[in-house]
Structure formats: C-alpha cells, structure tokens
C-alpha cells in the first residue's frame, strides 16, 4: 500500500505569514507523529496523536505551532506568524496500534522562511 | 531526562571496510532502542530495533546492533560497507508511559570512499 505522504514537499514563505503542512498517514495507522529536523540536527519531537486520545503536545516549541488530526486520517500542522528559526524539514510518521514503535516516515516538507 | 548521544557527527570509511556507529542513551527504565537510516532525498527507514531478549539484533541491509546495558550503548555495526550505505544514521530511544514517542540522537553522517 501507499506510504506516508506529505504536502507540499517544499514551501517558501515570508516571515510573519502562516503556513499549513499536511500529512496523510498509512491507512489504518492509529498513531501519527510530527517531528522537526533543523539543518544538520536530529529529529525533534513536536506532537503525537493516538486514536481518539488527547494528543501529546509536549514538543510544540511555542503557541504559534498547532496541529489537528481528523479521526485516524489526515493531519495538518499549522505555524502562525512564521519566524526564520522555523526553517526546517517537517517530518510526519505513522504507526499501527499493533506496532506503535515502528514508525513509518514521510518524505518531509522543507520549509524556508525568508 | 531521556536523551540519546551519537558522538560521531561524520564518519568516512572505505568500501568493504567494517563499520561501527556509536550510540549512548540515557533512560531510567528498560529502553526500547532503534536505528533509522535517512538516505539523501528519502524519508527515514527503520534498520533494526531492540525491545528485549537477545542483546544482538539483526536488521535489514546486513546491519546489526548490540545492546550493552552496563555501557548504556546500542552501537550499530556492519562487517563490510557498500557505497550505497552512504547516508545519515539516527539512533533513537522509545519513551513510554501514557504517550509513546521516540527521542532521536543528532545523527551520524556516513561517507563511503570507493
């Protein structure tokens, strides 16, 4: 089946604008994760959705960041009033209820804030 | 706090040589440990995982890793490196307790000389 998909693949925006990043997880995967990867650095956990439970938002760096998920499908990560330090690759991953630890990653969205 | 350290930022090896990538973790409980590979322009792919049992685990692409509790390490090895192994490698520890998430190291970039 199809893997995790993300759109857009690249996004260039001006400082102060809002952006929305989209993630389509693997069908049937109940868990969905967002990560941020700054240039030359590891992955930084942002937020985690698991089924109908309240999401784990502990990794969101500021209140400019928010994310939603519709049921067990699409998720959007929204960054308001973007800053240059938000420039990074944003990765989405999903996993199934039977193997929560085996995360399947999408190709990422490269965000550049000018 | 949980953390993962990958001491080597860059490693260069010759094709056919053996490889060891180091990973140390800090986690109070029994860890779940993972190695992921990120090839240029591609998403992260799970190489192998350790949950319990045999401390030497085998993964895809000829990789293996050994869990050493006394050293808090989970080093990745391959006996003979191929040019296609050039990529970035990430070690991660799974953190559970209500929410399940992965804490990643900063990564090791592997270059392979012909």
CB of B107 within 8 Å of a chain A CB? The answer is yes
Per-residue pLDDT at B27: 85
Instruction: Report H helices in B19-72.
Output: none
Per-residue pLDDT reduced to its tens digit, A80-90: 999 999 999 99
| Cβ under 8 Å to A: B residues 18-47 | 32, 34, 36, 41-46
Closest residue by Cα to residue A77 from A36, A28, A26: A36
Per-10-residue mean pLDDT of chain B, 114 residues long, equals 91 97 90 92 88 93 95 97 96 80 92 94
Interface test with A, best of B31, B42, B44, B52 (most A CBs within 10 A): B44
B90 C-beta neighbours (distance < 10 Å), count = 25
Per-residue pLDDT reduced to its tens digit, A2-45: 799 999 999 999 999 999 999 999 998 999 999 999 987 889 99
Does residue A99 surpass a pLDDT of 90?
no
In the structure encoding, which two tokens stand for residue B76, read together? 């990745």
Dihedral of CA B52/B56/B62/B63: which sign?
positive
In the structure encoding, which two tokens stand for residue B40, read together? 């240029």
Q: Which residues of B touch A103 (CB under 8 A)?
A: 46, 102
Per-residue pLDDT at B111: 97
């Amino acid at each position: 089946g199809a893997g995790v998909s993300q759109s857009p693949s690249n996004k260039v925006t001006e400082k102060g604008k809002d952006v929305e990043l989209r993630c389509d997880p693997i069908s049937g995967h109940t868990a969905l994760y967002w990560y941020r990867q700054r240039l030359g650095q590891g992955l930084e956990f942002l937020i985690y959705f698991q089924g109908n439970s309240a999401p784990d938002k502990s990794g969101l760096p500021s209140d400019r960041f928010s994310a939603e998920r519709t049921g067990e499908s699409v998720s959007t990560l929204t960054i308001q009033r973007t800053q240059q330090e938000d420039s990074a690759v944003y990765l989405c991953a999903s996993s199934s209820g039977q193997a929560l630890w085996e995360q399947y990653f999408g190709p990422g969205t490269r965000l550049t804030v000018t | 706090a949980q953390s993962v350290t990958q001491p080597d930022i860059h490693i260069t090896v010759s094709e056919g040589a053996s490889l060891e990538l180091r990973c140390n973790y800090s986690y109070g409980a029994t860890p779940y440990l993972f190695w992921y590979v990120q090839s240029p322009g591609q998403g992260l792919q799970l190489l192998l995982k350790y949950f319990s049992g045999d401390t030497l685990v085998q993964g895809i692409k000829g990789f293996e890793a050994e869990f050493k509790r006394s050293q808090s390490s989970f080093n990745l090895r391959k006996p003979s490196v191929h040019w296609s192994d050039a990529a970035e490698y990430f070690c991660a520890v799974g953190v559970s307790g209500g929410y399940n998430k992965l804490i990643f190291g900063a990564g090791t970039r592997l270059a392979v000389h012909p």
